[in-house]
Amino acid sequence: MKNFGKKALIKQRSAKRVAWTGAIAASLIMLPSIFGGTPALGQQKAERDSLTYGELIQKTEKDEVRKVELDETEQIAKVYLKGQKPDTPPIQVRLLNQNTELINKLKAKNVDFGEVSSANSKAAVGLLINLMWILPLVALMLLFLRRSTNASSQAMNFGKSRARFQMEAKTGVKFDDVAGIEEAKEELQEVVTFLKQPERFTAVGARIPKGVLLVGPPGTGKTLLAKAIAGEAGVPFFSISGSEFVEMFVGVGASRVRDLFKKAKDNAPCLIFIDEIDAVGRQRGAGIGGGNDEREQTLNQLLTEMDGFEGNTGIIIIAATNRPDVLDAALLRPGRFDRQVIVDAPDLKGRLEILKVHARNKKIDSSVSLDAIARRTPGFTGADLANLLNEAAILTARRRKEAVTILEIDDAVDRVVAGMEGTALVDSKSKRLIAYHEVGHALVGTFLKDHDPVQKVTLIPRGQALGLTWFTPNEEQGLISRSQLKSRITATLGGRAAEEIVFGKPEVTTGAGNDLQQVTSMARQMVTRFGMSELGPLSLENQGGEVFLGRDWMSKSEYSEEIAAKIDAQVREIVNNCYIKSKELLQENRTVLERLVDLLIDQETIDGELFRKIVAEHTQVKDTQVVDEKLPVSY
C-alpha cells in the first residue's frame, strides 16, 4: 500500500507541475496580443487627431498642408499642417488603394511628401514580442531536462563508494596527541613505517600487513588512532563507516566495495579506514529463514577484495570495532586482518598521560595534582577523561574563576559518574534513613580488610541516586580474589542491613534495589563463571552479553535443571552469609554508626579521611575477613 501511495503522490505532483507549466506558457503566449494590440486610449486619441481622405484633399487645396509622409504598408498618411507646433504629433489619414488624386494635389501645391515604410520596425517589434515568451519557455524546458539528467546520474552513481578521500590527510592529530595506549601506538607506528620505508622490512623478507583491526570498548581512542596514522603516514587516505556500505537495494553494498578498492588501487600505496566494521562484517548464515541477505553479499565482496584471486598490493586496511565477538571468522584470519590491536581502558600511568594531553589547553591551578585525579578515576577511558576536564572547565567558567581547582575536578568526577547534582533534602525521616543507608555501606566497607577504602559519603542527590558512597581502590585491580568479591557483596548489603537494624524489617525501603541487583550478579558469577562455590571449578555460563541472532538464541542450556537449582541455592547461600556478616558488623559498632549519621545529616558530605579518623577514634579496626558460614540449604 505504501508503494501505491508513493506512486499516486508522484503522479499528483507531476500533474501539478504540468498544469503550472501550461499556465505559464499560456500567459506568455498572450503577451504578443497584449503588447501588439493598440490600447483603447490610444485609439480614442487617434480618432480625435485624424482627418478623412476628403478633408486632406481640401486642406491641400487651401494650402494648409506643410508635409505628408505616405506609408503604403499600413495605408496611412502622416500629415503635418502649417501652423502646428514643432512637438505636435502628425495627423493620421487613412489612404485608399489608389491615391493618384492626392499625389497630384500635393505636387500642384509643392507640398513636401515622401514614402516611408514601417514594415521593418514592425517586424523587429514582433520578433521581440515573440522572444519574450519563447525564451522563458525554452529555459523552463532546459530546467526540467537538467533535473531529469541529475536524477538519472544519481541513479547511475548509486553504487559508487561514499568514502571520504584525502590525498594527504590533514587530521591535525599525530602520535604525540595520543596517550595512554602505548602498546597499540607501537603496533601502528610499524604500519606507518611500512608505508614510508618499506625497504627496511622487505630486505629481510617481511611483507606489509594487509589489515589491522582495532578492538576495544567505546571511547578508548580507536578512531583517534586512525586519525593519527593518517596524519603521520603522508599517503592517500580513505575513510568510511561500515554502515555506508549497506543499503536496502540489492547489490549496492558490493558495488561500493568494488568502487572503493578500485580507487584505492589507483592511489596505492594508501590507507583505508573502516569505522564500526561490525555493521557489515557480522557472521554469515546467522539469519533465520531464507532469502537474499544484502549484508552478506557486501561482506563476501569485502573478503574477496582484501585477499582474493587478484589481491591488493600496497593497500592497508584499518578497521575499528567494539564487538569483535560478532565478526565473521573469515574476516579475522591472517591475510585479511593480520593484526588485532587491543585498545583497552588505560591503566594509572596511561590515565595520567591522557590527562596531561587534555590539560594542555586548559588553565589548571598549580595546586591540582593530575596524579591524584588519575588515581581517583579507575576504569575511565580516554573519552571519559577528556569529558571530565571539559566539565571541570565549564564549572570553572560558571563560577567565574580564573583556573580549574580541585573542587571543580571533584564536582566534575561526581557529575560524570553519577549525574547532575540535585537539590539537597531537608532534615526529615527520609533524609535520616538515607544517611543510615549510606553510612552502612561506608562503615561495613571500612571494617573489611579486602575492601577498597572510602573516599566520600554524601547525601547530595545525583542523577537517580538520593545519596552516594564512593570507594576508590589503592591500586589497579586486574584480578579480583574470592575474598574481595565477598567483601564487595557484604559492603553493598550494608545499606539494607543498616535500615533493618535501626528501623526494623517492616520499615526497609526500596533504596537497596540497585544494590541487590549488583549483589545477585556478583554472587551468580562467582558460582557459574569463576568456580568459587561448592559446585567446584566449573564455568557453567558464558560471559554475559547480547544475544547474537542465529547463534545464541536457539542454543540449549549448558546444564541440567538439577544443576540450575544448585546454582540458585549457592547464590542464596553466598548472599545470606554476607548479609549476616554485614548486620553483625553494624550491631557491634552501633555507637560509631549513630555519630557518623548525625555528622552526615549536619554536613551532608563526609570526606574519606575524616570518616576513617572518626572510626579509629571509637573502635579499633580489626582485620575482619568474610568467613564462609554454612547455612542449611535444602536442594
* Distance of alpha carbon 514 from the chain centroid: 31
Three-class secondary structure of residue 437 per DSSP: helix
Establish whether 38 is an annotated binding residue: no
Strand 76-81 vs strand 454-458: parallel, antiparallel, or unpaired?
unpaired
Helices (H), 267-337: 294-306, 329-332
For the question of residue 186 being annotated catalytic, the response is no
| Distances from the Cα of 249 to the Cα of 3, 124, 297, 358, angstroms | 15, 57, 12, 44
* Distance of alpha carbon 347 from the chain centroid: 28
Establish whether 515 is an annotated binding residue: yes
Cα(first)–Cα(last) distance of the chain, in Å?
Answer: 58
What's the order of all strands across the beta sheet hosting 468-471?
468-471, 454-458, 605-607
Residue 67 backbone dihedrals phi, psi, to 5 degrees: -155, 145
Q: Give the amino acid at 224.
A: L
Quote the CA–CA distance of 352 and 179 in Å, as a whole number.
Answer: 9
Quote the CA–CA distance of 513 and 520 in Å, as a whole number.
Answer: 11
User: Are 49 and 40 contacting, i.e. CB atoms less than 8 angstroms apart?
Assistant: no
Q: Which of 187, 232, 438, 500 is catalytic?
A: 438
Establish whether 223 is an annotated binding residue: yes
Establish whether 287 is an annotated binding residue: no
Establish whether 441 is an annotated binding residue: yes
Establish whether 218 is an annotated binding residue: yes
> Angle 608-618/429-447 helices, nearest 10 degrees?
80
Peptide linkage before 269 cis (omega within 30 of 0): yes
Angle at 66 between CA 64 and CA 72, to 5 degrees: 110
Q: Give the amino acid at 559.
A: Y
Radius of gyration for the alpha carbons in the chain, expressed in angstroms and rounded: 45
Q: Tell me the three cell numbers of residue 488.
A: 564487595
Q: What is the DSSP letter of 325?
A: G
List, in sequence order, every residue forming a beta bridge with 273; answer none if it has no partner. Answer: 239, 318
Give the other-Cβ count within 10 Å of 214's Cβ: 30
User: Are 274 and 295 contacting, i.e. CB atoms less than 8 angstroms apart?
Assistant: no
Quote the CA–CA distance of 445 and 357 in Å, as a whole number.
Answer: 35
| Distances from the Cα of 157 to the Cα of 153, 162, 220, 529, angstroms | 6, 10, 36, 52
* Among 494, 498, 567, residue whose Cα is nearest residue 529: 567
Residue 53 backbone dihedrals phi, psi, to 5 degrees: -60, -40
Q: Give the CB-side neighbour count of residue 565, counting CA atoms within 13 A.
A: 6
Establish whether 32 is an annotated binding residue: no
Place of cell 583505508: 272
User: Are 117 and 71 contacting, i.e. CB atoms less than 8 angstroms apart?
Assistant: yes
Place of cell 546454582: 567
Establish whether 219 is an annotated binding residue: yes
Q: Tell me the three cell numbers of residue 186.
A: 607501537
Helices (H), 399-481: 406-418, 429-447
* Among 179, 220, 185, residue whose Cα is nearest residue 384: 220
Establish whether 290 is an annotated binding residue: no
Quote the CA–CA distance of 346 and 478 in Å, as a whole number.
Answer: 12
Give the helix, strand, coil percentages of the chain, each rounded to 5: 55, 10, 35
Quote the CA–CA distance of 117 and 89 in Å, as a whole number.
Answer: 18
* Distance of alpha carbon 159 from the chain centroid: 23
Binding residues for Zn(2+): 437, 441, 515
Catalytic residue positions, numbered? 438
Binding residues for ATP: 216-223
Binding residues: 216-223, 437, 441, 515
